[in-house]
A and B are shown apart, each in its own frame.
Chain A
Amino acid sequence: MTVLDAGQIARATPRVLSTPGERARKRRTSSVLVMVAVLAFTALMLSPLIWSTMAATKETSIAFASPPQFTYQPTLAAFVNLWQATNFYRYLENTVIIAVATAALTLVVAAPAAYALSRRGGQWSAVILAGALLFRAVPGFALALPFYNMAKSLGIYDTMIAVIIAFVAVDQPFSIWLLRNFFAAVPVDLDESALIDGCSRFGAFRRVILPVVAPGLVTAGILSFLLAFQEYLIAVVLTDVNAKTVPVFLASQIGQTLPLLQQASAGVVLLAVPIVLLATIAQRFLVAGLTAGAVKG
């Protein structure tokens, strides 16, 4: 910035002259207004989940009473009912196992590929990366219905294995893109000095590069974990009884009446809690991953 002469400063001074005290007060009022607006919007964003939580902790008779009840004696009966009357805990267990396995397998397959793609350009890399991008654009039904057929003919329909394989396949292209950005940020000198020290390419990757991109791996892992928690279409097509996930179970309660509906609201709360906790604890990684997706690809 260049040094300003007096004329420029005079022109830059606000037309309405105000004392420093006035200006500070103005700034304080506007920051209070901003705060109120942000608070109001955050409350609005959380209102569906707050309302579900309230519905789940009311007596069944007033859970969905009209006009709505705002003050009540909280009870956990709906949670107990959900646990006792349905197989919710099994669906939750399925969902967690599927999500963990999906995240782990996706990393195992995507990390080496992303590393290789970050270190070598050219035609082949271009084709693979463009292909990965293309697969992100495929409509879910174009995959889900054939998955159903393939799982049936392989005899793995309604098993967690089938769901995991499908999730890894769907999730992998995005993870490759995301991880490639993280690997590309690691200087090539690091690979070279490891190679000079006698490491093989795999040794350099495993012992030197992977530890450096650990935050990136956590980010990609969290995102594929969340994807497995969120995916509905593929899960509903591939499962029936044994491998059912929580979203599929809860969606099957749509259109039910009380008390099933209140149990479903308890289920919504139980599903949201671990996800929200994870997002709070790992907010830094989540933000990094979601933002990186926008910057590249």
Chain B
Amino acid sequence: MRGRDFALMVTPAVLLMTVLLSVPLLYTIVWSFQHVSYGEGSTWVGLGNYSAALRDPVFRDSVLFTVVFTVARTILLLAVGYGLALLLNAVRRERSAFLGLMLVPFIVPSIIGAMAFSWLFDSNFGGLANYFLQKVIGHGYNWFTDPWANRAVLIGNVIWHYVPLAVLILLAALQGIPQEPMEAASLDGASWRQKQWHVVLPALRPMLRFLALISVMDGLRMFDQLIPLSPSAQTINNQSVMLYVYQRAFTDSQQNLGLGSAVNVLMLFTMIVLVIPLLRSTYREVKAS
């Protein structure tokens, strides 16, 4: 392809990316060094917002919660997704119908899904979960005010939302595994567990790595789910970093945009560090082609 045609074809996309993604990022970076309040001017405060955030115990708690939650949900997602993919792989005729039904939680907007999810637990509105728990173990939980019960609801919701994607991707990969190594392993008398460990898992590794990356990135940026599922997130220490930004920059009386932007910049750096391996391999591969 000639250079001129190439330039013409990519220009609209590059312009859009530059103007609508780079400019907002520049805003965020500049704000992070300023004290900004809506409708008033802004004053330069250097690294003041960063040190204010790092000194804020609420911020530190939200970082701790977010990181631990992200690790837990990622491990659980991979395990549940793997198990379900194996299960669905054993179903033949009805597989695509089940897959279609299972995709529903993933394509319904996450905040709406979380809302519907919260209605299963809310004792003001039927309390379906407690109704069953009452019958089975004799007592229910305060799902929205007990920190650990609330964490269980949150992780349940996250798995519910993401497991369809995991199943879909792992199932496609399972079907791509060639039959020969599996048959050879069977002939050598390998047990089911040995076959999983030595043949299936290595074949799925790239997909598992991809799912882990997505889960970690979305986990660190968690926000939508918390609005319906954890109304008292801050008091029970279930506040994510992004919810902290929302509280400080948008809803608090102080509307501290500078502080929020500083946290956004820190989050951006974390994300970049996470995608660097992927970025580097992409860059090399495309440049060489």
Contact = CB atoms under 8 A, between A and B. Distances in A.
Interface of A: 1, 4, 8, 11-12, 30-31, 34-35, 37-38, 41-42, 45-49, 51-52, 55, 63-69, 109-110, 112-113, 115-117, 119-135, 137-143, 145-147, 149-150, 165-166, 168-170, 172-173, 176, 201-202, 205, 226, 229-233, 247, 250-251, 254-255, 261, 264-265, 268, 271-272, 275-276, 279-280, 283, 286-287, 290-291, 294, 297
Nearest to A231: B109
Given A137-B272, A169-B21, A254-B227, A42 B102 contact: yes
B242 A297 contact: no
Complex A-B, nearest 5 residue pairs according to Cβ-Cβ distance, in ascending order? A64-B125, A121-B289, A169-B20, A146-B24, A113-B13
Chain A CB within 10 A, most for which of B91, B119, B211, B284: B119
14 contacts: A49-B105, A49-B108, A52-B116, A63-B125, A113-B9, A125-B289, A126-B287, A130-B279, A143-B21, A250-B115, A254-B228, A271-B108, A271-B109, A280-B100
B172 A291 contact: yes
B134 to A, nearest CB: 9
A42 B115 contact: no
A251 B228 contact: yes
B274 A272 contact: no
B24 A141 contact: no
Nearest to A11: B189
Contacts of A117: 10, 286
Interface residues of B, number: 101
A263 to B, nearest CB: 13
Interface of B: 1-2, 5-6, 8-10, 12-14, 16-17, 20-21, 23-25, 27-28, 31, 84, 87-88, 90-91, 94, 96, 98-105, 107-113, 115-117, 119-120, 122-128, 131, 160, 163-165, 168-169, 172, 180, 183, 186-187, 189, 207, 210-211, 217, 221, 223-224, 227-228, 231, 242, 245-246, 249, 257, 260-261, 264-265, 267-268, 271-272, 274-275, 278-279, 282-284, 286-289
